[in-house]
A and B are shown apart, each in its own frame.
Chain A
Amino acid sequence: SQTIHQWPATLVQPVGSPLSLECTVEGTSNPNLYWYRQAAGRGLQLLFYSVGIGQISSEVPQNLSASRPQDRQFILSSKKLLLSDSGFYLCAWTRDSPNTEAFFGQGTRLTVV
């Protein structure tokens, strides 16, 4: 069966510090991978998605970046965090086929102080 791992679960970082969140998927190959951000009491904002190694599509201009160094690994990074980067970050994957369910990681609650 397929599983998705996302870590860390919680993170408190000072303004200006770097960020690295990691997500890995097991039990499938060539998944589509996604990073979403959920601000408090708000919806899921698509940040990045990837259809293959090294292929990243960015949806929102920001100081975040994403990388996919391996087929089942997706990393969200920042060089310098802003207060506005606080939120709940969710990694997700779907099969590389139309009209299929998205499976979410447990999420990372990031607080920038």
Chain B
Amino acid sequence: GENVEQHPSTLSVQEGDSAVIKCTYSDSASNYFPWYKQELGKRPQLIIDIRSNVGEKKDQRIAVTLNKTAKHFSLHITETQPEDSAVYFCAASYGNNNDMRFGAGTRLTVKP
């Protein structure tokens, strides 16, 4: 089955700096790659996703890039703010069953 690895496990940046989180996946059939943000004690919520037919997607301060050949994708957050502090999860899935596998998560801390 699919195996998703995520790095780093923790990331600390100064407010205004950029943050990058990277994930790799094992199953070349995977074609959907969402990113979720989980604030402390709350449920994960989708912040951005990318499908295998595109290489990059941007939404204001966040962007995701996908390299299908290398089987890795990354989340980029620019101009970070304290409210960006949370745990971020990448995921990969394929097929009609949406068998979604998550990375281990990255705890991002943005220092004011």
Measured CB to CB, the residues of A under 8 A from B are 32, 34, 36, 41-46, 49, 51, 57, 59, 90, 94-102, 104-107
Instruction: Given contact pairs A34-B100, A43-B104, enumerate 17 new A-B contacts (beta carbons under 8 Å).
Output: A41-B107, A42-B104, A43-B89, A44-B44, A44-B89, A49-B99, A90-B43, A94-B100, A96-B96, A96-B98, A97-B96, A98-B32, A98-B94, A99-B32, A102-B91, A104-B43, A107-B43
Contact yes or no, A43 B103, CB < 8 A: yes
Contact yes or no, B100 A102, CB < 8 A: yes
**Contact with B98, one of A94, A104, A105, A107 (Cβ below 8 angstroms):** A94
Contact yes or no, B105 A44, CB < 8 A: yes
When distances are taken between beta carbons in the complex, the residues of chain B under 8 Å from A43 are 6, 89, 102-105
Interface pick from B45-53, B59-67, B72-80: B45-53
Taking the closest CB of chain A, its distance from the CB of B4, in whole angstroms, is 9
Shortest Cβ distance from B44 into A: residue: A104
Taking the closest CB of chain B, its distance from the CB of A56, in whole angstroms, is 13
A45 to B105, CA, bound (A): 11
Taking the closest CB of chain A, its distance from the CB of B100, in whole angstroms, is 6
When distances are taken between beta carbons in the complex, the residues of chain B under 8 Å from A32 are 97-98
A41 to B9, CA, bound (A): 10
When distances are taken between beta carbons in the complex, the residues of chain B under 8 Å from A107 are 42-43
Shortest Cβ distance from B102 into A: residue: A44
